[in-house]
Structure 1
Amino acid sequence: MNKVQQFWIDFCAENHKEGIKFKDAFQFGVSADWLADLVVEGKKTATTSGFVFYELEKEAIPQAGEYYIVLDGQEEPVAVIQIHSVEVVPMNEVTEEYALAEGEGDYRFWWDAHEKFFTDLLKEYNMEFSPNMLVVCERFEKVYSK
């Protein structure tokens, strides 16, 4: 049994959630340790990803109610989150209130960081960033950490 599976078993046992499964285990963005810490501290309660990447990878977008395990930069499990809501909107329509829920800084910081991240990632697919590109806005709650 690996560390991620054991982390999930511990969460289920402590929270009487036997019989349910987590959707995936993942790292946030390019600063995995910092972002994982923000989740553990309860400061990060939202995340934004590019809708086009779900299409390109033929993956379903997250759904309300799903559980995910957040990994740090060393791929160690640090938290379980549960998705509360998912919206697909143009990036230039993301509200300041939502951007602040990501816990990383002010709206300008959020915009600049996401524009750079999406620009770099889109280049790998020979695509260009557009301010009105569709993004997946997820709100979540940390439901477990050690």
Structure 2
Amino acid sequence: MNEMTLAYWNEYRKENGSHPPIDVEAFQFGDDANALAALVVSGKKTATCSAHVLYEMENELLPYVGQYAIVLDATERPVAIIQTTDVTIQPMNEVSEEFALAEGEGTYADWWDIHERFFSELLGSYQLSFSPSMKLVCERFIVVDRFNVKE
């Protein structure tokens, strides 16, 4: 986590008491970090998904309800702090249209095309193949703070 992001998190924690945990993840969404970060800040993106198999391969903990994260743009500048409100694991071909639309990237068909391409490329880098029934970790979140925006 860079200095600016750490300072942002520490300021958020200071302003919101000791409730938020000390540990927080900072990350960029997908393969167009700026566009996806803008969707988060605008409130159009309130969900995301990731390949379950990668959590298993990397022995990484799954996201959990109440977890905080800092969303970064393509230059690794913080844009917002989000908090996870729901986590489910389901096959990609069973993801609802409502969830896909909550990802903020267009129609259900747009969501499918974007994610099939993204997961095909990502899994290919691990010598794995995309499958329409691959398990996804589907998260919903709320924006709890926007960087440099005080309401």
**Cα distance per residue 1:59-109 (max 9 Å; x no partner):** 011000010000000000110000001000000000000000011111000
Contact 2:68 2:81 in 1 (8 A): yes
Matches within 5 A, 1:1-146: 2-17=3-18, 20-145=21-146, 146=148
How many equivalent residue pairs? 146
Distance 1:38-1:17 versus aligned 2 partners, 3 A rule = farther
- Counterpart code for 2:17: H
- Counterpart code for 1:131: P
1:15 CA drift (Å): 2.5
Contact 1:22 1:69 in 2 (8 A): no
1:18 CA drift (Å): 5.5
Contact 2:20 2:68 in 1 (8 A): no
* Distance in 2 separating the partners of 1:51 and 1:106: 23
* CA RMSD of superposed structures (Å): 1.3
Distance 1:51-1:15 versus aligned 2 partners, 3 A rule = same
Contact 1:21 1:67 in 2 (8 A): no
Q: Which runs of 5+ in 2 are unaligned?
A: none
1:20 CA drift (Å): 2.1
3-state SS in 2 of match to 1:73: coil
- Percent of aligned positions with the same letter in both sequences? 51
* Distance in 1 separating the partners of 2:65 and 2:8: 21
TM-score, length basis structure 1: 0.95
1:133 CA drift (Å): 0.3
Distance 1:19-1:141 versus aligned 2 partners, 3 A rule = closer
3-state SS in 1 of match to 2:106: coil
